Structure 1
């Protein structure tokens, strides 16, 4: 559910956001409405948008998207848009084959409990219904669950990268384990301050050979 947190984050930043889904479900719909995001019954916004953001699950060549392209409105995948949006932020990127949502949510919750201001976007719901899955902050820091499944991970240059694991997945995007490892190595090389890896994981060698910043391990 990457689109809803992004809509909430943007709305919190003061951006007018409208959202369409052909099957909005609860509690996501209510969370969007509560945050001030406009809910559309048809994929037709009430104003001319500056940009249209689509889920990677939505085909690029849909007629409704082609209409906006013909009018000069950029149409971007969520990950590509998010990478551009946060390019000047201090991004704490949580990556890996699995465990990203839980880890990103824990980090966002802990940082805020510690009075460390940060924005965040996670791909799931908190147990506490009062905590939205996406929130904006004036702080330059933002915790992001970065998705590798569609290749948009290549657009991110984080301040800190926390990589949980590297199991070969998303075979439509990565034809081999090596392909996925190379993608993570590229992300490590673009990371500014630190790459954080589980101790003893093979990813440690990859990080040490790819990153120009320190590699930090944890148990």
Structure 2
């Protein structure tokens, strides 16, 4: 069943897209995305293009994602000043980062065009299939990518929307012919509560997005709402070693399965070897041997992601041979410990880590993979508010790096108060006080020049952050 047929079917149902949005995005209609360059927004835009919708949009930054959309026929502008919205626009989709004073959004409001959130349209798409939603503070993208890879390997042709590019399966989105819909479920703005999954995953729950939630109790409560949204005949898969998740899962009405490296979990992983960059591990299900697995991506955290993916796909009905084969060929998502290049025996890696826990586990994986090499970490903090709220956590995250270079904070959704209340210099001072060899270099272009003159043979450079710090890794490789 294609999307247009699905919408026709939903006309007669109690919960229809028309009732939710007063709009039916049928073939030929125009949908305008404000913030179309976002990973999730671009993914939904790709799906609608493939369904025959006319897609246009705006974003202040161009990227490979916007270039791909333009190649598919989307009309994209970087002005975002309200002047280039097509006259035939039927619906406007906004990302969670778009504020009410955005000129494009103000134009849409003035013209009376229906405006919906990205998460709402994602939820409406999921209703037409068997939804699988992957949530959690960390590991969502990799776990979503693993599940999508397994389902594709098994021949189930899922639709998926992932918060990162996954080259092995065609990018960050795909409109499949099968009845499964895999979506990375973001908790910011309680967006994941717009989804109606039959299967859910909670990888972990930590303090994040405190500019919205204020405290961990409110975050746990939102995840509790997510847990309660899983259909009663479905499955919720959770990390058994996360105390906050244990609180949230009490709200679930469905079957729950746990995973960890502890034999007390329903799904247990026993790591055999992992220092060479290849994780070999045994999997046990309810105490019984399930199979031997291999992952080509480093870190014990990725073994946990694989356990969650295995639990989900087994519930769906995928055989263990397909799971094992898919995981063995899985090379990861872009910006997740992605090796950008090796030049003159200098290895350059890029990673999306922007939370203290993510930084710590990524550098731990780098140290395990390169135990005798000098590791440089180039970190670009993401959001003034996140840096302020999690300052103490950030200061303790760089112990596995030999040298740290700190860039200026990348602003996203930050108000004027946040921009004056925090500065990278403050983070630099806190990190230096822990004994870490850290240097503050505000501009990315200057960081590239410093690195190019100081890195030596056998060094490893890891760029980290959710902003545009990835440019450093590519520029450095081109210079070396």
When normalised by structure 1's length, the TM-score is 0.89
The structure with the greater share of residues assigned to strand is: 2
The Cα of 1:159 is off from its aligned counterpart by 1.0
The Cα of 1:113 is off from its aligned counterpart by 1.3
Whole-angstrom CA distance in 2 between matches of 1:10 and 1:216: 34
The Cα of 1:31 is off from its aligned counterpart by 1.8
- Establish whether residue 210 from structure 1 lines up as the match of residue 251 from structure 2: yes
Whole-angstrom CA distance in 2 between matches of 1:7 and 1:213: 32
Question: In terms of Rg, which structure is larger?
Answer: 2
**1:10-25, aligned counterparts within 5 Å?**
10-25=48-63
**Does the residue aligned with 1:115 lie in a helix, a strand or coil?**
coil
- Give the match for residue 128 of structure 2: 88
Q: 1:155 pairs with 194, 211, 214, which one?
A: 194
Q: Deviations over 1:133-173 (max 9, x none)?
A: 11112333211011112222222221111110001111011
Q: 1:140 to 1:42 in 2, by over 3 A?
A: farther
Maintained 8 Å contact 1:94/1:103: yes
Maintained 8 Å contact 1:194/1:216: yes
- Give the match for residue 209 of structure 2: 170
Q: 1:57 to 1:206 in 2, by over 3 A?
A: closer
Whole-angstrom CA distance in 2 between matches of 1:54 and 1:206: 29
Which deviates more from structure 2 when the two are superposed, residues 136-145 or residues 27-36? 27-36
Q: 2:72 pairs with 22, 27, 35, which one?
A: 35
- Give the match for residue 60 of structure 1: 100
The Cα of 1:127 is off from its aligned counterpart by 4.1
Q: Deviations over 1:116-144 (max 9, x none)?
A: 1210011111244x712111123332110
The Cα of 1:179 is off from its aligned counterpart by 0.7
- Establish whether residue 191 from structure 1 lines up as the match of residue 233 from structure 2: no
Maintained 8 Å contact 1:159/1:191: yes
Whole-angstrom CA distance in 2 between matches of 1:41 and 1:175: 32
Maintained 8 Å contact 2:134/2:140: yes
The Cα of 1:80 is off from its aligned counterpart by 2.7
The Cα of 1:110 is off from its aligned counterpart by 1.7
- Give the match for residue 77 of structure 1: 117
Whole-angstrom CA distance in 1 between matches of 2:157 and 2:203: 24
Whole-angstrom CA distance in 1 between matches of 2:161 and 2:87: 26
The Cα of 1:200 is off from its aligned counterpart by 3.5
The structure with the greater share of residues assigned to helix is: 2
Q: 1:113 to 1:35 in 2, by over 3 A?
A: farther
Whole-angstrom CA distance in 2 between matches of 1:205 and 1:179: 12
Q: 1:51 pairs with 91, 98, 107, which one?
A: 91
Q: 1:201 pairs with 231, 235, 242, which one?
A: 242
Whole-angstrom CA distance in 2 between matches of 1:106 and 1:12: 23
Q: 1:4 pairs with 28, 36, 42, which one?
A: 42
Corresponding pairs, count: 216
Whole-angstrom CA distance in 1 between matches of 2:116 and 2:85: 16
Maintained 8 Å contact 1:194/1:214: yes
Unaligned 5+ runs, structure 2: 1-38, 261-480
Unaligned 5+ runs, structure 1: none
**Does the residue aligned with 1:91 lie in a helix, a strand or coil?**
strand
The Cα of 1:8 is off from its aligned counterpart by 0.8
Which deviates more from structure 2 when the two are superposed, residues 104-113 or residues 150-159? 150-159
Give the RMSD, CA atoms, in angstroms.
2.0
- Give the match for residue 109 of structure 1: 149
Which structure has more relative contact order (CA 8 Å, sep 6+)? It is 1
